[in-house]
Amino acid sequence: MKKLKSGVANSTVNRMLALLRAVLRRASSEWEWIKTAPRIRLLKEPVRRVRFLTLVEAQRLLSHLPEQIALMATFSLATGLRKSNVTGLQWSQIDMQRCVAWVHPDQSKTRKAIAVPLNLDAMRVLALCKGRHPVYPFASPGHMCVSISTSVWKRALADAGIEDFRWHDLRHTWASWHVQNGTPLNVLQELGGWESSEMVRRYAHFSAGHLVAYAERLPKVIE
C-alpha cells in the first residue's frame, strides 16, 4: 500500500510482489525454511493498447532522425530487437553470409539465446555500418558506447507529427506488421524471443484473415 500511495503503477508493485512470491515458494518447496508459502495476489493491471506506426509514419519518423539513430531505428523495425539488444549488438554476434544474428542468454530478457534472422532491410543497415567501428555496428567512430539521445528522439517525433510513441514501440510496430502480413503467432513468439504465448496474444487482433470465411457464413441481409 505504501508503494501505491507513493504514486507507482500497479505493474511496478506486481514485479516486486512476483519476486517476493517466488522467494517464498522456494523457501517452502526447496529450502524448507517455512512450511507453506503464503498466498500473494497480484494487483490488476490495465490492458494497454498496442502502439504502432503505419509504414508511412515510420518512414516519416526515420527521415527526421539523425543518420546513426535512423539506422538503429530501421534495424529495430526490421528485427524487433529491444533497445538494449540493438545498442549492445556486436559484430561478433552477426553472420552476414547466413543473414543471421543472435542474442546471448545474458543479454536476453528471458535469459535464453535468441536467433535473429536478418531480412533485406536489416542487411542493408549493417552494410551501411561496415567500417564504422570494429566492435559495435552502431557506435560512432571514436566512441566505445552506443546511446540514443532522448531529446533527439522527442524532437524527431515532434517534427514527424507523431505523439505518444516510445522507442520500445518500434518492437510493437515490428510485431504488428508481422501479424498484419500473415505471420502466425507461434512463429512471431519465436522470432521475438517471448517466453509466454500470452505476450504474443496482444497482437492477435491484427490478424483476422482466417476468420473472413466464417464471417461469410451468415445469411445475406442485403440482396
Whether residue 82 lies in the annotated active site: yes
Burial 124-159 (b: 16+ CB within 10 A, else e): ebbeebeebbeebbbbeeeeeebebeeeebeebbee
Catalytic site residue 168?
yes
**Catalytic hit among 15, 26, 49, 109:** 109
**Is 21 annotated in the active site?**
no
- Please choose, from the candidates 207, 164, 214, 167, the residue with its C-alpha nearest in 3D space to the C-alpha of residue 188: 207
Q: Given 91, 153, 167, 194, which residue is catalytic?
A: 194
**Which member of 82, 133, 172, 178 is catalytic?**
82
DSSP 19: H
Would you call 33 a catalytic residue per the annotation? no
171 catalytic per annotation: yes
C-alpha distances out from residue 59 to 54, 55, 143, Å: 9, 6, 28
Indicate which residue of 171, 172, 174, 178 is catalytic: 171
Q: Which of 26, 143, 154, 168 is catalytic?
A: 168
Just list the catalytic residues.
Answer: 82, 109, 168, 171, 194, 203
